Amino acid sequence: MIIVRRLVLSRLHFLFRSGFIGGVALLWILLVSCSGDTSKKTTQQGVVDSNDLLAQIQKRGTIIVSTDPNYAPQSYVNEDGEYAGFDIDVAQEIGKRLGVEVEFVTPDWDLIVAGNWSDRWEMSVGSVAITKKRQQLLDFATPPYYYTLAQFAATNNTGIENMDQIVGQKVCVCTETVYEYWLSGEEERLGLPEDSVFALPPSDVKIMPMKTDNECVQSIQSGREEFAIFLSSHTIVDAAIDNGVPIHKVGKPVFAEHLAVAFDKKGSKDNSQLVQRVSGIISGMRTDGTLTELSIQHFDGRDYTKRP
């Protein structure tokens, strides 16, 4: 190609000196000749689509992930001031397989599930349960990366042993969660598959909302007496019991949650490639045993990656 181009340019130079073509025409031909491979060079170098969220993340080399700093064993800040837990390790592994670093942020839970993140973070790996209502605001990677059960717990000195005794009681829950929706009878906001709901909520309860589930546990642990019952993930209940908090489970689980990685539907960039890629990564982590290994590591030997 270089030899041909030199021959062409040499011939054109001769024609120009001989008066066969004018200077302007020669200049135009030279420009066309020299720039003939521009599209090829552009393709080889790669052009990042400014509207593709995944492409922008990979170009930047980081992905911003929201999580909960007070939701052990799923996510928390350890003694060294570092993020740790099952959700944290899942997020880190997703980042690794995307080829980027993970940067964590910790917005309040109600802001995460409300959508409209305004590009402040790009993905939530924070045990977000899939509901019909949330699917209007958020995109979810499929399949879910693990499953939990909603479980009542009460302090040991209450004498409460079954759900009938919860009627008329104060019950602590994390605000804007499926636990609150189920407890308040908001079926539309709950939006879980029918086969995932195992019981009706007790009547006349007074809901005591907290910013995170573990605040319910920590309030009981500190001796506060505003309530003696809470509803949360069985992972939170199991962890509290394992850590010596004086509580016990009340009745059987009342519904099951499908927890998935979430994305904002109304971000400024197209997230379709990111959702598809993360979905494939989750499937791969399930197939190669990574999810099971992380569950066993963080949930005291229990595998919560299988649908209950």
What pLDDT, on a 0 to 100 scale, did the predictor assign at position 186? 92
Which run of H or of E encompasses 25? helix 23-34
The Cα-based distances of 6 to 3, 10, 12, 33, 219 in angstroms read 5, 6, 10, 10, 82
pLDDT of 15: 40
Domains assigned to the chain: 53-147+259-298 (3.40.190.10), 148-256 (3.40.190.10)
What pLDDT, on a 0 to 100 scale, did the predictor assign at position 225? 87
- pLDDT computed for residue 187 by the predictor: 87
| pLDDT < 50 positions in the chain | 1-45
How confident is the model over 192-201, as pLDDT tens digits? 988 899 999 9
What is the per-residue pLDDT for 46? 56
| pLDDT at site 4 | 37
The pTM score is 0.79
pLDDT digits (tens, 9 = 90+) for 220-270: 999 988 999 999 999 999 999 999 999 999 999 999 999 999 999 999 999
> How far does Cα 185 stand from its chain's mean position?
26
pLDDT of residue 28: 36
- Exposure on the CB side of residue 84, measured as CA atoms within 13 A: 11
Instruction: Please give the pLDDT value at position 130.
Output: 95
